A and B are shown apart, each in its own frame.
Chain A
Amino acid sequence: EAAVTQSPRNKVAVTGGKVTLSCNQTNNHNNMYWYRQDTGHGLRLIHYSYGAGSTEKGDIPDGYKASRPSQENFSLILELATPSQTSVYFCASGGTGREQYFGPGTRLTVL
């Protein structure tokens, strides 16, 4: 099965601070995704990437940036964190078959 890891697993940040969430996959998948999960909203797509150097906006990109420096790594950046960005963030990777494999998640609290 695909191996996707995320760091940190838990993060407490202050309003206005910068937060970087990291994701690494060892399956050589071209596609990587960042979601947030809030009660009642399922998984909402923030940014995704089709390969190193590419990033695309998902359904809720405002307030987030993404970076894909290599095939294995995909980062989500909150330049100015706000309390509304308190959530659980999941990274996923996927190949040509469209099935996605999820990392363990990062719980972010913005105070």
Chain B
Amino acid sequence: QQKVQQSPESLIVPEGGMASLNCTSSDRNVDYFWWYRQHSGKSPKMLMSIFSNGEKEEGRFTVHLNKASLHTSLHIRDSQPSDSALYLCAASVTNYNVLYFGSGTKLTVEP
């Protein structure tokens, strides 16, 4: 069973709209979540990380974390066509420098 599950698999939003992506882990030892963005034909690049309950905002991007349910979500407001990419969620376990990646959500922002 995959340690990290993401939903939806794909998402289409209009330009200027809100995109909401979800990620859950089944491993109770997970203590940190990461969101990576991968544009087509490029390598993944870290977008945001979170380890505390609550939310973290950076510009148009907001990440939420509920540690009790091991659920994190990424919200992109005022979505732009340049936000179209594969969004990968990853989780890590305390004192273990390995990331477990989900299958990703493919976001398409239509002009």
30 A–B pairs (Cβ distance < 8 Å), ordered by A: A33-B98, A35-B101, A40-B103, A41-B103, A42-B88, A42-B101, A42-B102, A42-B103, A42-B104, A43-B44, A43-B101, A44-B101, A45-B99, A45-B100, A90-B43, A90-B44, A96-B97, A98-B32, A98-B92, A98-B97, A98-B99, A99-B34, A99-B46, A100-B46, A100-B99, A102-B43, A102-B44, A104-B42, A104-B43, A105-B43
Residues of A within 8 A of B (CB): 31, 33, 35, 40-45, 48, 50, 58, 90, 94, 96, 98-105
10 further A-B contacts with Cβ under 8 Å, apart from A42-B102, A99-B46, A102-B44, are A42-B103, A43-B44, A43-B90, A43-B101, A45-B98, A50-B97, A90-B43, A96-B97, A102-B43, A102-B45
Q: Which residues of B contact A40 (CB under 8 A)?
A: 103
Contacts of B6 in A (CB 8 A): 42
Q: Is the CB of B7 closer than 8 A to any CB of chain A?
A: no
Contacts of B45 in A (CB 8 A): 102
Of B42, B45, B97, B101, most buried by chain A (CB within 10 Å of CB) is: B97
| B97 & A31 in contact (Cβ 8 Å cutoff) | yes
Determine the chain B residues whose CB is within 8 A of the CB of A105 once the complex forms: 43
B101 surroundings in chain A (CB, below 8 A) = 35, 42-44
Query: Which residues of B77-97 are within 8 A (CB) of A?
Result: 88, 90, 92, 97
Report whether A43 and B88 are in contact in the complex, using a CB–CB cutoff of 8 Å: yes
Q: Which of B34, B45, B99, B100 has the most chain A CB atoms inside 10 A of its CB?
A: B99
Chain A residues positioned under 8 Å from B92 (CB to CB): 98
Question: In the docked arrangement, what's the CA distance between A105 and B44, Å?
Answer: 10
Is B20 in contact with chain A by the CB < 8 A criterion?
A: no
Residues of B within 8 A of A96 (CB): 97
Q: In the assembly, what is the distance between CA of A50 and CA of B43, in Å?
A: 22
Q: Is B62 an interface residue (CB 8 A)?
A: no
Nearest chain A CB to B91's CB is how many angstroms away? 10
Interface status of B22 (Cβ within 8 A of chain A):
no
A96 to B88, CA, bound (A): 21
